[in-house]
Amino acid sequence: MDNSPTPYAILNGELLPADQAGFNVANQSLVDSFGIYETIKLEDGRFFHLDWHLQRLGESARILNLEFPASLEEIGEWCRKLAGTSSGFGLLRIVSYGSDGVHGPQCGLYMKPQPKLAPALFDPGVWLVSSEGERIWPLAKSTNCLAQALARFKAQRAGAYEGLIVDRHGHVTEGSTCNLLAVRDGVLLRPLEGTALEGVTENITVELAEAAGIPVQRTALPLAELASWDESFITSTNRRIMPVRQIDDTPLRASPGSVTRQLMAAFNDYEKTRGWGE
């Protein structure tokens, strides 16, 4: 399957060669990280829950009081326009910066390949390492990603797959590019509301768990209590559900565990028939 990105990008609705569609370097909003973003999966020319990603983009803008150069409906049309120039397979990124008082709001769209995921990442799973940090305005998908970047860099230095962000209270909130959930005594645990960005894939997974009769609980996830978890997994747009076999020096009791396997199968079935737009 062709996994090459399109040679085009969109800036404020204008289709341009990708190397010509850049943000103004003098825009103070870039320095301030006064921006938001979304990443949407495209397969066979169809987006996976484009509407939900646009809704979250709008909610991020509302939280930060950030204006767009166009309506969400128009930005959705830009997504379809850019997808039409591509192979029909990849990840579409929306990045929108608010006005800095001199430059108006800007919204750019570009595409990148979907990473190829080796089977070993799903069985036996991945190794994560913890990193201190916190997301600014956790419920907004902001371009202020310093905590996430530092977690990712730490993981890369250690040879781990992904970094986990641990806040000032010692609680695991999310991964550098994913959400994290745990299972203890058959109960699916997710971070307390408002402490981590809620993922589209994460929310689908929680709905599937509830439909299957798996109890779901919002709770703090202290890193110090990691040994009490039976299993854990991460979720993201391109990974779907990926088991975790070890965090720092602590191996999980099962990877993939029975609940993780059940949800991986349920998500696979969900994706076969639901969520795909035009």
CATH number at residue 267: 3.20.10.10
105 & 138 share domain: no
DSSP characters over 245-271: EEETTEE-S-TT-HHHHHHHHHHHHHH
Regarding whether 151 and 191 lie in a shared domain, the answer is yes
- Which pLDDT belongs to residue 278? 57
Q: Please report the pLDDT score of residue 269 as a whole number.
A: 97
Pair (126, 103) in one structural domain: no
The verdict on residue 3 lying in a domain is no
Is residue 69 in a domain? yes
Asked if residue 240 lies in contact with residue 267, where contact means CB atoms within 8 angstroms, the answer is yes
Residue that terminates a domain, selected from 78, 112, 146 = 112
* One domain for residues 20 and 128: no
92 and 136 together in one domain: no
Whether residues 108 and 123 fall in one domain: no
Q: Is there a domain that residue 2 lies in? A: no
Ordered alpha helix ranges (H), the chain: 28-32, 50-64, 72-83, 146-158, 200-211, 258-273
Looking at residue 44, its amino acid is D
Q: Is residue 87 part of a domain?
A: yes
Same structural domain, 107 and 133: no
The sign of the dihedral angle between the CA atoms of 188, 193, 197, 202 is: positive
Q: Say whether both 97 and 18 belong to one domain.
A: yes
pTM: 0.95
User: Of 112, 138, 161, which marks where a domain is finished?
Assistant: 112
- Burial tier of 239 (Cβ tally within 10 Å: 0-12, 13-18, 19+): buried
Residue 1 lies in a domain: no
| In a shared domain, residues 78 and 130 | no
Within a domain: residue 80?
A: yes
- In this structure, the answer to whether residues 105 and 125 fall within a common structural domain is no
Residue 257 belongs to a domain: yes
Range of the structural domain that residue 215 is part of: 119-273
Phi and psi at residue 163, to the nearest 5°: -100, 145
Indicate whether 159 belongs to any domain.
yes
Same domain, yes or no: 93 and 225:
no
Ramachandran area for residue 24 (φ above 0: left; ψ -120 to 50: alpha; else beta): beta
Give the CATH number of the domain where residue 71 resides: 3.30.470.10
SS3 111: strand
Give the pLDDT of residue 277: 86
Domain final residue, candidates 62, 78, 112: 112
The total domain count for the chain is 2
- DSSP symbol at 115: P
- Do residue 129 and residue 249 come from a single domain? yes
**Average pLDDT along the chain, 278 residues, taken 10 residues at a time:** 77 96 95 98 96 98 98 98 96 98 98 95 98 96 97 98 98 98 98 96 98 98 97 97 98 98 98 89
